[in-house]
Amino acid sequence: MIVFENAVRRFGAITAVDRVSLSVRSGEIFGLVGPDGAGKTTAIRMITGILSPDSGTVRLLGSTRPEAVKGDIGYVPQKFSLYGDLTVMENIRVIGALYGASRKRVEELGNEILTFTKLLPFKDRLADNLSGGMKQKLALAAGLMHKPKVFFLDEPTTGVDPVSRREFWQMLYRLNKEGMTIFVSTPYMDEAELCTRVAFMHHGRIVACDSPQGLKQSYPYQLLELQAADRQVKQALSGCPVHEVNAFGDKYHLVVADAAVAIPLVQSALATARIPVLALREIPPTLEDVFVNLASEVA
């Protein structure tokens, strides 16, 4: 369905995509995760034909020429790129006309897709007057106007409120159940958990690729969750067998080699520092723990 073979893309002295080899199977929801500047957007632009690889091969639906299969792909870019001075339905009509659909077919599909995205009550509202979440739903609707086989979304919910993010992903799940392959980049770990498989990209390279569960099972350490009534935890644990101390809200994740060995030593160190321990327990790693570790390994 989607294949990168040792693909490279440079911008002057910067290698944005560095010898990436990756395959995505039909019917997957495939997530591409990584920090800003990792190369995610460049990779998506390469596979959709906006950019060409400097070397290596990129294939989509069996073709190395994206223009030959452009009728089978949909794309939602990072930034809203539709017409703000047109209404929701006018934007849909423009997109439908660009794909060569008849006026009657555009109206039928437009009403169907706006109903699906819950935008039909707002069809006469100017796009500029939509909320952030509604703008992304409009971008989604526009990308679906030609019923693509593969749908690419580049951080589609960045800056969108949590309720709209949940609704957006519910729509992606429905599309996937109907047979559409989804390729999405996201900075949100809860969204990465919803993917069939996830690739972690860093400095232009794919560092790891597996199912969310497989990635968590590959985590090489054990993890302790600490809740303490003091913010000087890192200094207090400097002499303990703790590889990393990462803040997670009002708690800390302590990365250790052996939880059974580390727990009494952590308790003793905090007692010495007169830091009350509210809770200390071993927990399974999250995807965020996995990716923090991967990023530190390749930094």
**One-letter identity of residue 86:** L
Taking phi over 0 as left and psi of -120 to 50 as alpha, with beta for the rest, 171 belongs to alpha
pLDDT at 139: 92
pLDDT at 188: 87
Q: Which CATH number fits domain 219-298: 3.30.70.1290, 3.40.50.12500, 3.30.70.980, 3.40.50.620?
A: 3.30.70.980
Which residue ranges make up each domain of the chain? Answer: 2-215, 219-298
2-215: CATH topology is Rossmann fold (3.40.50)
Alpha helices in the chain (DSSP H): 40-47, 88-98, 103-116, 132-143, 162-177, 189-192, 212-217, 233-236, 259-272, 287-298
pLDDT at 299: 62
CA–CA separation, 182 and 170 (whole Å): 13
pLDDT in 10s for each residue of the chain, 299 residues: 899 999 999 999 999 999 999 999 999 999 999 988 899 999 999 999 999 999 999 999 999 988 889 889 999 988 888 999 999 999 999 988 887 778 888 899 899 999 999 999 999 999 999 998 899 899 999 988 888 999 999 998 887 888 888 888 999 999 999 999 999 999 888 899 999 999 999 999 999 999 999 999 999 999 999 999 877 899 999 989 999 998 888 899 999 999 999 999 999 999 999 999 999 999 999 999 999 888 887 76
Contact 88, 107 (CB under 8 A): no
Locate tokens 């927990």: which residue? 283
- Count of other CB atoms within 10 angstroms of residue 7: 24
Could you check whether 2-215 and 219-298 share the same CATH topology? no
